[in-house]
Structure 1
Amino acid sequence: MLTGKQKRFLRSQAHHLTPVFQIGKGGTNEHLFRHIEEAIEKRELMKVQVLNNNLDDKNEIAAEVARETGSELVQVIGSTIILYKESRDNKQIELPR
Structure 2
Amino acid sequence: MITTKQRAYLRSLANSIDPIFQIGKGGIEAAFIKQVEDALEKRELIKINVLENSGLGTREAHDQLVGAIGCEGIQIIGSKIVLYKESKNHKKIELPRK
Q: Please identify, of 59-68 and 32-41, the stretch whose mean Cα deviation from structure 2 is larger.
A: 59-68
1:18 to partner: Cα distance:
0.5
Q: Is residue 49 of structure 2 the alignment partner of residue 49 of structure 1?
A: yes
CA displacement, residues 33-78 of structure 1 (integer Å, 9 cap, x when unaligned): 0000001100000001001212322111101111212211001100
1:6 to partner: Cα distance:
0.8
Letter in 1 for 2:40: I
Aligned to 1:92: 92
Letter in 2 for 1:80: K
Gaps of 5+ in 2: none
Q: Is residue 63 of structure 2 the alignment partner of residue 67 of structure 1?
A: no
Give me the whole-angstrom Cα distance separating, in 1, the residues matched to 2:57 and 2:47.
Answer: 17
Aligned to 1:4: 4
Structure 1 runs (4+) deviating above 2 angstroms are none
1:3 to partner: Cα distance:
1.2
Q: Please identify, of 15-24 and 64-73, the stretch whose mean Cα deviation from structure 2 is larger.
A: 64-73
Paired positions, count: 97
Gaps of 5+ in 1: none
Identity rate of aligned residues, in percent? 47
Q: Give the alignment's TM-score, normalised by structure 2.
A: 0.94
Q: Give the alignment's TM-score, normalised by structure 1.
A: 0.95
Task: Give the aligned CA root-mean-square deviation in angstroms.
Answer: 0.9
